[in-house]
C-alpha cells in the first residue's frame, strides 16, 4: 500500500477536519501574514464559493447518504482541503509549496463492515492540484469537486472505489454563526467563515466491488475557511451535519477540553420545508435558527470500542438543540479511520441516523457525525 | 584348447613368422625356446592378442580370435588370458592383495568377491601373510610370485609367461618356475612359457624350439636328462 | 570402484607435480572468481541503490545531467496511463570546503510517496508518541532550508538533526538544517533529500528537472469514455501496455529527453564497467589456461613415466576407453580440487580486494558504494566447473597419447624419450595463427570484443603448437661446442624437444600474457601521458569543486577571474551530460573555446570543420563515433536545451577520461544555443613573468575557501597518471601470478622427469661427470626450455598486445592508442624468467642427483 508511505511522508496531513483546523492555530514562527477572520464581512456568492488562498486553511466537505438500486444504504464523504503553508512565498520555483491541496474520500458500507477510503494530495502547480477563486472548483490529480451550473460535481477515483456524483442544492447557502462568521472559542480570534449546503440531492454513478451502478441520495456540504481556528485548549471535537426528513437541516458542533468537557458549542437549525411553503423549492433563504453555546448539548449514550485501536467512541448520542432533543444512531459502529502508524491521528467519521426524541412519529434525519480526540490527544495548535 | 594354424607375421616386408602351427590341449604346459630375434615375442604378442597376424588363424577353445577388433581382443585378454612378465609389473601403489585382485576388478568384480580368490591364490603361492604388504617390501622372487597369483586369479584358459625369471637369481628363478608350473597345472589351464633358457623350459611338459623354420619339438629325452 | 585405486593412487605418488597443477588451477580459478565476485557485489549494490532510488517506477524520464525543462512534467503527469509522476532534481552536491559528496535529491514528497515511498524523509522531531507537538517541524519536508540525510550519511558526515550542513552551490555556499533522516535508505552513506522547490531555487536549477519517475496505471478507462462513463467498473477498463505507454510519454518529451525503464540505469552501469571487468576476467582466464597447461605437463610426464604400467594394464585386459576415461578423471580430480580451493581463495581474495580497492578494484566506476560480499552459487559452480575443464583439458592429450600406445611395444621398457608433442603441427599452427588474424575483423557484439578474444586465444594456441618446431630449430642452430654439460643439454633439446615443449608451454602462456599486458598498459599509459600533455597546455587550471552539477562559476565570478592581475587569457569550460539514445549511457558534453580547425584536440584522422557561418561544429570522441556511427563531415541533429540542433561533425578525437563518450562544442556556440552562461572549469594563461603562486592565491581568494580549486598542469597530469596506475594495479597482480604459474610449470616438469632420468644421471656419474656438472646441465636444460618458452611467449605476447590495443580496447573502451613496447623491462623480465627457470630445474633435479650413482644404474624399475 502506498498510503502508509504517503501518510508517513506527510507526517502531518491526515485528511480530517479537526487536524486541518489544528493547522489553523499552529505555527507562529512563520512570518507569513495570513488573512484574519473578522466579523461583519458579508459573504458574496458565487465569489465565496471559490477558494480564499490568503487564508491559512480552507475546506469543502461533503457527506451524505446514498441508496443503491436495491435500496441498501451507504455513507459517503469527500473532502478537499487547501492549506497555505507559509513556505516558499518568495521562491520563484514553480514547485514552491505555497499551497497544498489534500483530498480525502470514504465509503461506509454496512455490508463491508468498515470504511473504505482513499486520498490524494499535491502541491498546487503544474495542473496537479488547482483551485479556482471565482467559484468552487478544486482538483487534485483526477479528483475534482466543483460547482458546475447549479450543481456540485464530485469525482473520485480510488483503489477500492470510484464515484462521480452530482449534488444539487435546494436553497441558497445556509450561513452558520453570525452571517457566516462562526466563532469556535470564547476568544473570537478563533473563528472561521462557514456556510453549509444541506439537503443536496445526489445522483450519479458509484463503482464498487468491480461494478458500476447508479446511486441517489442526499448530502451535506460545508465550506469553511480560516486562519486561526482552534484554541490550544481544544482536545478534540464532535460535529454533526444532518439532513432532516422534513426538509430541515441541523448542524451542531462542540469543542472539548482535555477533560472531555465542552469548551465551546454551536448549532444551526434550518426550518422544515413546510415552514417555507408547500413547494419546498425556490432559492429564497429558508428560515434558520442560530443557537448559542449554552443551547447546545452533546450527551454520549453508547460506547463502541475499536478492535484495532482500543479507543472507545460514543457512537450513540443525545443531542439537545434549544428545546429539541435528538437521538443519533450510527449506520455501522466501525467507521473509524486509523492512521496511527504514521501520524497517530485516529478518528471516527461516519454516517448516522437521527431521530427526534419524544416524537417517534416525527421527522427523522440522516447525516454524518465526526468525532476526534478520543484516543491520544489530537494534534491541535 | 589353443589352435594356431599357418600363422604368419611380417614387419616392414621382413617375414618374422611364417606358416606356423601349434595345437595345445587344455591342461598342457609348454615352453617355447629360441634364439634372440627369432620371433618369440612376436608369437607371444600374437597369441596374447596384442598384435594381429598377417595370415593364419588363432582359436581359443574353438573360437577364432585372429580377426577380432581391438575391443574384443581386450575383452578376451581380460577374461581368458593370464600374464606373467619378466618385469613383474606389480603396481607400487597397490597392496599385494590388491595387485592380485586387479584382473577381477577389470571384470567388474569388487570387494570381498575379488579379495577372497586373491587371498586364496596368495596362500597358494606362499604369500598369504604378505597380502597387506606393499610391493616395495617384497623381494624380486616374491614379486614374481605375486604376478603368478595375479595371472591365475581370474581362472584364465591360457597363461602366458614371458621370461618370468629373467630378473631373478637362479635359486629364486627355479622356485618361481616350479610354482608357475604347479599352479598352471592345478588350474587346468593351457600354459605357454617363453624363455631363452633351456633350464627354465625344462619345467614345462613339452619344449618347443622356435627357429626360422618354425616350431619343432625338442627331444624330451635329451633335455630331460639335463633336468633334475 | 576399485580401479580408482589403480589411477588415483598414482596421483598421490607424484605429489609435487600434482601440487603444482593444483596450485595453478587454484590460482586461476581464485583470481577469476575474485574479479567476478567483486564485480557482482558492486553491481548488486549499485542495482540495490538504483532500485531504492527508482522504487516502484515503471519508467523514468531522463535527459541531460544539467536537467531538462520542467514543463514536460505537467504533460507527462496528466497522461491517463501515468498513475503517478514524481519529479526529481538530483544534484551531486559537495560539502562546502570538504571532499565529501552527497547525492542530493530534490523531491515532491506528495509524488514521491506514490512512486518511491522508500525514500520518504522522516522529520526528526515529529514523533507523535512524545505528545509534544512541534509545529515548526510540521512542514519540515517542505521547508526550503531543511535537508534530510540517510542515517549512514549523517554518520559519514558527523552531523545529527538540528545541525547545520553547508553545501557548495555554484561557487558559493548554502547553509541547510539537518531536519531528519530517510528510514527507507538508512544505510546509504551519500543520500540526502530536500524539497524540490528548495533545490531548484538554491542550487540554480529553476525550471529544470533531472528526472521524472513514473508509475504506470495498470488499467485506464476505455477510450472515448467521458463524464460518468469514465467511472465504469474497473473490470471494463483496458489494460495499459507498457510499450504503448512509453511511446505516449516519449511523444511528449523534447529532444534529448528520454523515457526508459529504470533497469536501463543498471544495465548502463554494468556496461560501463563491463569492458574493464571483461579484461580482468580474461586475464584470470589466462591464468586458468596456464593452469591447464600445467596439468598438461604434469599429466604428459606422468603418462610417459607410466607407459609400461599402462601397457601392462592394457595387456591384462584394460580397454582403451577406460584407460582414457581414468586418465581424464585424474585430471578432472585435480581440476575439481583446484576449483573448490580456488573458489574459496576467490572469496577470500574478493573480500581483501573489496576492503583494499573497493567494488571497482580501484577503477573508479562505483565510487561511494560499499558492496557486500555474497555467496553466489551459480558463479561458484561455474568457476569450479572451469577448474575441472582446465584439469580435463590438460589431461586430454596425454590421456589420448597413453590410450593409443601399443601395449606390446611399451611393455619393453626404456621408452621414455617418446614425449607427446615431439613433432608439433606447424601447418595447423600457421592456420590457427592466420585464423586469429581474421578473427580481429569480427565486429564487437554487445560491446564485447569477441573477435579480439578469439584472436588472443588463437594466437596462444597457434604459438604453442608451433613451439616444437621452434624448439628444434633453435637446437639446430645452437653451437655444438663448449663444455660437456652444455653439449648434453643442447643435444637433449635437439633430440627430445618434447620435454622442452612440455615445460615451455606454460612459460609461453604466462610470458605471452604478461608481455601482452605490459605492452598494452605501457602503450596506454604513454598515450594518456601524451594526451594529457596536449590537453593540459595552459599555465594554470581552475575548477569549481568536484561536481559539475551543483558547483559552477557564474558570470560574475568568470569576470572576476579574468580580471585577476597576471592573467593573460582565460578559457572557460562548461560541462554537462546529454542523452543521445534510450538505454545508452549519457555522453559528456564539453563546451569550451575550440580553434576552428580543431588542431588543439587529440584528433583521430583528419578534421573537416564546417565553413564559418555554417552549422556549429561538433567534435566527437571515439566512443561517440562508435556508438552513434557519426562520421566526420556528417550533419547530425544534436539535442541541446530541449531541442534538436543541426550540427556538423567536424572531427573525431581521443578522450581518455570519459569512456562513455564525449562531444565538444565551441563555448560561444553553446552559449548562443542554450543561453547557459555558467562555467565549471577555466584554463588560464599567465602574462609573461607573472608569479603563478600569486595568481593562484588571488584566484582562490575570489570565492569561499574550498569552493574552487586551482592547479598547475603538471600536478593534474601527475594525479591523472596516479589514478591510471591505481586502475591497472590489479592487472600487475594477475601478471605476477601468471608468471609464477609458468615457473611452477618448469619446476614441475623437471621434477617429474628428473625421477625418470635417475639412471641417466647415474650413468653420467659413472662416466665421470661431477654432480656439479650434472647440475649445470640441468640448469642449462631449464634455461633452454624456458628460453624457448620465453621467446615464443614474447612473440605471441607482442601479437596479443597488438590485438589488445587495436581490437579489444578499441572495441570495448573505444580508445585508440599508440603502440609502445617496454623493451627494457621486457628484456629484464625475460632474462629473469630464464634464470629462475634454470634455478627451478636444478632444484627439481636435486633429489635425483643426490642418489647413489651405482644404485641408480642398477635399478630396474
Chain segment C790-828, per-residue pLDDT in tens: 888 999 999 988 988 888 878 877 777 888 888 988 898
Mutate to test the interface with B, among C1, C2, C305, C307 (most CBs of B within 10 A): C2
Kindly give the residue spans of alpha helices, DSSP state H, lying in C478-599.
484-495, 497-535, 555-562
Decide if B183 is inside a domain.
yes
Examine the pLDDT at C420 and tell me if it is beyond 80.
no
Q: Which residues of C touch A376 (CB under 8 A)?
A: 128, 131
Decide if B155 is inside a domain.
yes
Q: Which residues of C touch B102 (CB under 8 A)?
A: 6, 316
Q: Is A237 helix (H, G, I), strand (E, B) or coil?
A: strand
Decide if B126 is inside a domain.
yes
More confident residue, A231 or C696: C696
Highest-pLDDT range among C40-44, C184-188, C496-500: C184-188
Cβ contact, residue pair B87, C12, below 8 Å: no
Give the whole-number percent of chain C exceeding pLDDT 90. Answer: 8
Cβ contact, residue pair C5, B114, below 8 Å: no
More confident residue, C726 or A307: A307
Which pLDDT does position A290 carry in this prediction? 87
Which pLDDT does position C755 carry in this prediction? 66
CA distance B168 to chain C (A): 12
Which pLDDT does position A20 carry in this prediction? 42
Which of C192-196, C466-470, C632-636 has the lowest average pLDDT? Answer: C466-470
Touching chains A and C? (3+ Cβ pairs < 8 A): yes
pLDDT in tens, C34-43: 877 877 777 7
More confident residue, A178 or C371: A178
Cβ contact, residue pair C316, B102, below 8 Å: yes
Per-residue b or e along C219-255, where b marks 16 or more CB atoms closer than 10 Å to that residue's CB: ebbeeeeeebebbbbbeebeebeeeebbebbbebbeb
Distance CA A253, CA A271 (A): 18
Query: Considering CB atoms only, which of C308, C315, C860 is closest to B77?
Result: C315
Mutate to test the interface with A, among C76, C111, C139 (most CBs of A within 10 A): C139
Examine the pLDDT at A357 and tell me if it is beyond 90.
no
Examine the pLDDT at C132 and tell me if it is beyond 50.
no
Burial degree of B90 (CB within 10 A; 0-12, 13-18, 19+): buried
More confident residue, C496 or A15: C496
Cβ atoms A328, A335 nearer than 8 A: no
- Model confidence, pTM: 0.68
CATH of the domain at B138: 3.40.50.300
Q: Which long-range contacts (CB under 8 A, 24 or more apart) does C373-378 make?
A: C373/C37, C373/C38, C373/C41, C373/C347, C374/C40, C374/C41, C374/C44, C375/C347, C376/C37, C376/C40
Instruction: Enumerate residues 60 to 119 of chain C having a beta carbon within 8 A of any beta carbon in chain A.
Output: 70, 73-74, 77-78, 87, 108-114, 117-118
Examine the pLDDT at A345 and tell me if it is beyond 70.
no
- The gap from C-alpha C375 to its chain's centroid, in whole angstroms, comes to 21
Domain count, chain B: 1
Touching chains A and B? (3+ Cβ pairs < 8 A): no
Mutate to test the interface with A, among C86, C126, C218, C234 (most CBs of A within 10 A): C234
Examine the pLDDT at C275 and tell me if it is beyond 80.
no
Which pLDDT does position C361 carry in this prediction? 57
Cβ contact, residue pair B78, C316, below 8 Å: yes
pLDDT in tens, A144-163: 999 998 899 999 988 788 89
Which pLDDT does position C265 carry in this prediction? 66
Cβ contact, residue pair B79, C317, below 8 Å: yes
Cβ contact, residue pair C201, A123, below 8 Å: no
Q: Is C123 on the interface with A (CB under 8 A)?
A: yes
C touches which chains (3+ CB pairs under 8 A)?
Answer: A, B
Q: Is C2 on the interface with B (CB under 8 A)?
A: yes
Q: Which residues of B touch C316 (CB under 8 A)?
A: 77-78, 81-83, 102-103, 106, 150
Cβ contact, residue pair C120, A211, below 8 Å: no
Cβ atoms A61, C174 nearer than 8 A: no
CA distance A287 to chain C (A): 35
Domain that holds residue B128: 28-40+81-226
Instruction: Enumerate residues 722 to 751 of chain C having a beta carbon within 8 A of any beta carbon in chain B.
Output: none
Calculate the average pLDDT of chain C: 80
Examine the pLDDT at B223 and tell me if it is beyond 80.
no
Which of B79-88, C73-82, C496-505 has the lowest average pLDDT? Answer: C496-505
The pLDDT confidence band at residue C136, using thresholds 50, 70 and 90, is very low
Q: Is C208 on the interface with B (CB under 8 A)?
A: no
pLDDT in tens, C647-705: 999 999 888 777 778 899 999 999 998 888 888 888 898 888 888 888 888 888 887 77
Examine the pLDDT at A21 and tell me if it is beyond 60.
no
Q: Which residues of A touch C121 (CB under 8 A)?
A: 9
DSSP string, C338-389: HHHHHHHHHHHHHHHHHHHHTTTTTSSTTTT--------HHHHHHHHHHHHH
Question: Domain segments of chain C: what residues?
Answer: 1-53+268-273+281-420, 56-261, 472-537+714-861, 540-711
Examine the pLDDT at A68 and tell me if it is beyond 70.
yes
Mean pLDDT of C182-202: 88
Which pLDDT does position C424 carry in this prediction? 62
Mean pLDDT of C152-167: 89
Question: Domain segments of chain A: what residues?
Answer: 2-372
Which pLDDT does position A318 carry in this prediction? 93
Question: CA–CA distance from C143 to each of A25, A87, A312, A379, C148 (Å)?
Answer: 19, 6, 37, 20, 11
- In chain C, the residue whose alpha carbon lies closest to the alpha carbon of A129 is C74
Q: Which residues of B touch C12 (CB under 8 A)?
A: 93
Q: Which residues of A touch C135 (CB under 8 A)?
A: 26-29, 381
Mean pLDDT of C220-248: 73
Distance CA C321, CA C30 (A): 32
Question: B–C: how many Cβ contacts below 8 A?
Answer: 80
Question: A–C: how many Cβ contacts below 8 A?
Answer: 143
Cβ contact, residue pair B93, C406, below 8 Å: no
Cβ contact, residue pair C317, B114, below 8 Å: no
Examine the pLDDT at A178 and tell me if it is beyond 60.
yes
Calculate the average pLDDT of chain A: 81
Distance CA C358, CA C370 (A): 7
Q: Is C196 helix (H, G, I), strand (E, B) or coil?
A: helix
pLDDT in tens, B136-180: 888 888 888 898 899 989 889 999 998 888 777 888 888 888 888
CATH 3.30.450.20 given to domain A2-372: no
Which pLDDT does position A2 carry in this prediction? 25
CA distance A345 to chain C (A): 9
Query: Considering CB atoms only, which of C2, C318, C861 is closest to B87?
Result: C861
**Count of Cβ atoms closer than 10 Å to residue B211 Cβ:** 12
CA distance C323 to chain B (A): 11
Phi then psi dihedrals of residue B15, to 5 deg: -80, 120
Closest by Cα among C312, C297, C308, C300 to C414 = C308
- In chain B, the residue whose alpha carbon lies closest to the alpha carbon of C307 is B89
Which pLDDT does position C1 carry in this prediction? 63
Amino acid at each position: 500500500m502506498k498510503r502508509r508511505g504517503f501518510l508517513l511522508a506527510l507526517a502531518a496531513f491526515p485528511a480530517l477536519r479537526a487536524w486541518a483546523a489544528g493547522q489553523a492555530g499552529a505555527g507562529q514562527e512563520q512570518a507569513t501574514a495570513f488573512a484574519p477572520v473578522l466579523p461583519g464581512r458579508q459573504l458574496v456568492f458565487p465569489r465565496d464559493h471559490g477558494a480564499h488562498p490568503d487564508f491559512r486553511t480552507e475546506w469543502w466537505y461533503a457527506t451524505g447518504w446514498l441508496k443503491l438500486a436495491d435500496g441498501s444504504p451507504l455513507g459517503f464523504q469527500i473532502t478537499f482541503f487547501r492549506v497555505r503553508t507559509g513556505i516558499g512565498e518568495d521562491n520563484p520555483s514553480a514547485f514552491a509549496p505555497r499551497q497544498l491541496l489534500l483530498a480525502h474520500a470514504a465509503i461506509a458500507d454496512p455490508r463491508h463492515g468498515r470504511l473504505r477510503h482513499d486520498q490524494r494530495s499535491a502541491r498546487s502547480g503544474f495542473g496537479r492540484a488547482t483551485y479556482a477563486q471565482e467559484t468552487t472548483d478544486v482538483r487534485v490529480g483526477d479528483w475534482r469537486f466543483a460547482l458546475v451550473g447549479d450543481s456540485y460535481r464530485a469525482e473520485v477515483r480510488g483503489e477500492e472505489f470510484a464515484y462521480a456524483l452530482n449534488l444539487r442544492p435546494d436553497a441558497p447557502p445556509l450561513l452558520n454563526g453570525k452571517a457566516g462568521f462562526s466563532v469556535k472559542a470564547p476568544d473570537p480570534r478563533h473563528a472561521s467563515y462557514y456556510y453549509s449546503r444541506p439537503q443536496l440531492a445526489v445522483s450519479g454513478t458509484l463503482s464498487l466491488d468491480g461494478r458500476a451502478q447508479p446511486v441517489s441520495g442526499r448530502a451535506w456540504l460545508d465550506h469553511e475557511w480560516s486562519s486561526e481556528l482552534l484554541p490550544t485548549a481544544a482536545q478534540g471535537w464532535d460535529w454533526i451535519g444532518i439532513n432532516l426528513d422534513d426538509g430541515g437541516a441541523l448542524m451542531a458542533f462542540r469543542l472539548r477540553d482535555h477533560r472531555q468537557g465542552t469548551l465551546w458549542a454551536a448549532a444551526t437549525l434550518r426550518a422544515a420545508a413546510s415552514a417555507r411553503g408547500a413547494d419546498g423549492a425556490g432559492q429564497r433563504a429558508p428560515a434558520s435558527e442560530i443557537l448559542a453555546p449554552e443551547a447546545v448539548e452533546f450527551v454520549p449514550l453508547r460506547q463502541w470500542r475499536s478492535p484495532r485501536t482500543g479507543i472507545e467512541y460514543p457512537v450513540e448520542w443525545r443531542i439537545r438543540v434549544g428545546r429539541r432533543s435528538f437521538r443519533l444512531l450510527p449506520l455501522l459502529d466501525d467507521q473509524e479511520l486509523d492512521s496511527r502508524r504514521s501520524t497517530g491521528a485516529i478518528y471516527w467519521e461516519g454516517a448516522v441516523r437521527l431521530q427526534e426524541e419524544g416524537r417517534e412519529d416525527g421527522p427523522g434525519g440522516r447525516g454524518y457525525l465526526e468525532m476526534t480526540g478520543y484516543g491520544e490527544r489530537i494534534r491541535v495548535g | 584348447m589353443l589352435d594356431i594354424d599357418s600363422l604368419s607375421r611380417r614387419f616392414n616386408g621382413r617375414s618374422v613368422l611364417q606358416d606356423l602351427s601349434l595345437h595345445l590341449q587344455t591342461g598342457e604346459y609348454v615352453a617355447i625356446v629360441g634364439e634372440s630375434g627369432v620371433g618369440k615375442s612376436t608369437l607371444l604378442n600374437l597369441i596374447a592378442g596384442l598384435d594381429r597376424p598377417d595370415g593364419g588363424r588363432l582359436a581359443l577353445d574353438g573360437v577364432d580370435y585372429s580377426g577380432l577388433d581391438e575391443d574384443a581382443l581386450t575383452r578376451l585378454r581380460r577374461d581368458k588370458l593370464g600374464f606373467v612378465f619378466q618385469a613383474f609389473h606389480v603396481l607400487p601403489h597397490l597392496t599385494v592383495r590388491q595387485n592380485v585382485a586387479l584382473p577381477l576388478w577389470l571384470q567388474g568384480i569388487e570387494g570381498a568377491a575379488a579379495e577372497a580368490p586373491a587371498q586364496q591364490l596368495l596362500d597358494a603361492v606362499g604369500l598369504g601373510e604378505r597380502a597387506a604388504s606393499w610391493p616395495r617390501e617384497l623381494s624380486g622372487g616374491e614379486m614374481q610370485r605375486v604376478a603368478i597369483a595375479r595371472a591365475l586369479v581370474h581362472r584364465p584358459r591360457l597363461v602366458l609367461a614371458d621370461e618370468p625369471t629373467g630378473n631373478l637369481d637362479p635359486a629364486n628363478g627355479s622356485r618361481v618356475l616350479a610354482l608357475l608350473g604347479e599352479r598352471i597345472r592345478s588350474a587346468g589351464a593351457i600354459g605357454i612359457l617363453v624363455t631363452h633358457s633351456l633350464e627354465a623350459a625344462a619345467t614345462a611338459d613339452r619344449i618347443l624350439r622356435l627357429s626360422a623354420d618354425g616350431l619343432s619339438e625338442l627331444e624330451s629325452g635329451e633335455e630331460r636328462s639335463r633336468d633334475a | 570402484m576399485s580401479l580408482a585405486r589403480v589411477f588415483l593412487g598414482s596421483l598421490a605418488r607424484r605429489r609435487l607435480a600434482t601440487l603444482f597443477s593444483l596450485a595453478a588451477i587454484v590460482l586461476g580459478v581464485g583470481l577469476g572468481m575474485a574479479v567476478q565476485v567483486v564485480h557482482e557485489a558492486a553491481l548488486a549494490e549499485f542495482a540495490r541503490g538504483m532500485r531504492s532510488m527508482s522504487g516502484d517506477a515503471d519508467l523514468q524520464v531522463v535527459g541531460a545531467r544539467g536537467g531538462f525543462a520542467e514543463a514536460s512534467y505537467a504533460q507527462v503527469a496528466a497522461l491517463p496511463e501515468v498513475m503517478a509522476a514524481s519529479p526529481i532534481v538530483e544534484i551531486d552536491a559537495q560539502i562546502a570546503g570538504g571532499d565529501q559528496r552527497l547525492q542530493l535529491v530534490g523531491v515532491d514528497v506528495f509524488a514521491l510517496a506514490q512512486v518511491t515511498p522508500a525514500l520518504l524523509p522522516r522529520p526528526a522531531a515529529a514523533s507523535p508518541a512524545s505528545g509534544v507537538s512541534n509545529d515548526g517541524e510540521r512542514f519540515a519536508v517542505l521547508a526550503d532550508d531543511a535537508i534530510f540525510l540517510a542515517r549512514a550519511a549523517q554518520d559519514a558526515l558527523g552531523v545529527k538533526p538540528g545541525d547545520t550542513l553547508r553545501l557548495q552551490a555554484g561557487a558559493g555556499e548554502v547553509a541547510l538544517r539537518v531536519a531528519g533522516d530517510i528510514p527507507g535508505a538508512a544505510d546509504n552513506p551519500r543520500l540526502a533529500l530536500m524539497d524540490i522547490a528548495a533545490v531548484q531555487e538554491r542550487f540554480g536549477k529553476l525550471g529544470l528537472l533531472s528526472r521524472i519517475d513514473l508509475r504506470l496505471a495498470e488499467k485506464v478507462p476505455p477510450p472515448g469514455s467521458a463524464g460518468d462513463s469514465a467511472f465504469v467498473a474497473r473490470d471494463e477498463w483496458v489494460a495499459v501496455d507498457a510499450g504503448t505507454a512509453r511511446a505516449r510519454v516519449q511523444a511528449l518529451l523534447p529532444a534529448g529527453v528520454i523515457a526508459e525503464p529504470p533497469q536501463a540505469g543498471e544495465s548502463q552501469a554494468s556496461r560501463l564497467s563491463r569492458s574493464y571487468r571483461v579484461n580482468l576476467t580474461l586475464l584470470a582466464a589466462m591464468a586458468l589456461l596456464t593452469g591447464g597447461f600445467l596439468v598438461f605437463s604434469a599429466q604428459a610426464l606422468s603418462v610417459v613415466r607410466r607407459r609400461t604400467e599402462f601397457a601392462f594394464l592394457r595387456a591384462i585386459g584394460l580397454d582403451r576407453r577406460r584407460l582414457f576415461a581414468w586418465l581424464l578423471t585424474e585430471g578432472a580430480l585435480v581440476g575439481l580440487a583446484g576449483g573448490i580451493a580456488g573458489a574459496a581463495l576467490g572469496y577470500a581474495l574478493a573480500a581483501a580486494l573489496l576492503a583494499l580497492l573497493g567494488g571497482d578494484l580501484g577503477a573508479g566506476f562505483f565510487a561511494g558504494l560499499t558492496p557486500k560480499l555474497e555467496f553466489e552459487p551459480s558463479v561458484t559452480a561455474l568457476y569450479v566447473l572451469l577448474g575441472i575443464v582446465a584439469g580435463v583439458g590438460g589431461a586430454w592429450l596425454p590421456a589420448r597419447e597413453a590410450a593409443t600406445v601399443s601395449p606390446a611395444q611399451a611393455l619393453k621398457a626404456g621408452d621414455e624419450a617418446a614425449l607427446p608433442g615431439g613433432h608439433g603441427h606447424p601447418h595447423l599452427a600457421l592456420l590457427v595463427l592466420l585464423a586469429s588474424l581474421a578473427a580481429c575483423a569480427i565486429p564487437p557484439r554487445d560491446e564485447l570484443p569477441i573477435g579480439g578474444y578469439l584472436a588472443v586465444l588463437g594466437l596462444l594456441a597457434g604459438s604453442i603448437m608451433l613451439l616444437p618446431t621452434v624448439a628444434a630449430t633453435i637446437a639446430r642452430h645452437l653451437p655444438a661446442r663448449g663444455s660437456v654439460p652444455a653439449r648434453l643439454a643442447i643435444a637433449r633439446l635437439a633430440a627430445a624437444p618434447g620435454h622442452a615443449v612440455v615445460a615451455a608451454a606454460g612459460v609461453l602462456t604466462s610470458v605471452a600474457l604478461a608481455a601482452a599486458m605490459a605492452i598494452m598498459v605501457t602503450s596506454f599509459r604513454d598515450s594518456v601521458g601524451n594526451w594529457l600533455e596536449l590537453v593540459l597546455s595552459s599555465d594554470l587550471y581552475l575548477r569549481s569543486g568536484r561536481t559539475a552539477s551543483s558547483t559552477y562559476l557564474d558570470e560574475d565570478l568568470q569576470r572576476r577571474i579574468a580580471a585577476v592581475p597576471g592573467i593573460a587569457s582565460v578559457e572557460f569550460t562548461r560541462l554537462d551530460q546529454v542523452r543521445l539514445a534510450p538505454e545508452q549511457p549519457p555522453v559528456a558534453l564539453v563546451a569550451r573555446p575550440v580553434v576552428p580547425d580543431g588542431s588543439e584536440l587529440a584528433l583521430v584522422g583528419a578534421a573537416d570543420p564546417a565553413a564559418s557561418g555554417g552549422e556549429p561544429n561538433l567534435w566527437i570522441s571515439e566512443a561517440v563515433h562508435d556508438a552513434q556511427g557519426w562520421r566526420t563531415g556528417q550533419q547530425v541533429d544534436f539535442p541541446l536545451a530541449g531541442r534538436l540542433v543541426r550540427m556538423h561533425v567536424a572531427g573525431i578525437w581521443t578522450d581518455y577520461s570519459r569512456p562513455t563518450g564525449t562531444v565538444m562544442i565551441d563555448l560561444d556556440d553553446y552559449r548562443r544555443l542554450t543561453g547557459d552562461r555558467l562555467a565549471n572549469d577555466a584554463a588560464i594563461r599567465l602574462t609573461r613573468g607573472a608569479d603563478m603562486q600569486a595568481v593562484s592565491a588571488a584566484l582562490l581568494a575570489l570565492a569561499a575557501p574550498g569552493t574552487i580549486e586551482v592547479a598547475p598542469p603538471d600536478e593534474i597530469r601527475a594525479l591523472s597518471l596516479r589514478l591510471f596506475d591505481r586502475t591497472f594495479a590489479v592487472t600487475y597482480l594477475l601478471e605476477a601470478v601468471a608468471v609464477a604459474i609458468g615457473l611452477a610449470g618448469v619446476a614441475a616438469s623437471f621434477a617429474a622427469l628428473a625421477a625418470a632420468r635417475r639412471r641417466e644421471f647415474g650413468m653420467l656419474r659413472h662416466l665421470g661427470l661431477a654432480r656439479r656438472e650434472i647440475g649445470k646441465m640441468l640448469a642449462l636444460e631449464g634455461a633452454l626450455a624456458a628460453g624457448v618458452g620465453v621467446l615464443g611467449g614474447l612473440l605471441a605476447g607482442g601479437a596479443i598486445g597488438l590485438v589488445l590495443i587495436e581490437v579489444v580496447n578499441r572495441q570495448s573502451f573505444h580508445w585508440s592508442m599508440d603502440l609502445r613496447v617496454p623493451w627494457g623491462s621486457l628484456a629484464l623480465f625475460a632474462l629473469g624468467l630464464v634464470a629462475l627457470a634454470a634455478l627451478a630445474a636444478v632444484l627439481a633435479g636435486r633429489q635425483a642427483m643426490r642418489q647413489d650413482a651405482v644404485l641408480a644404474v642398477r635399478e630396474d624399475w
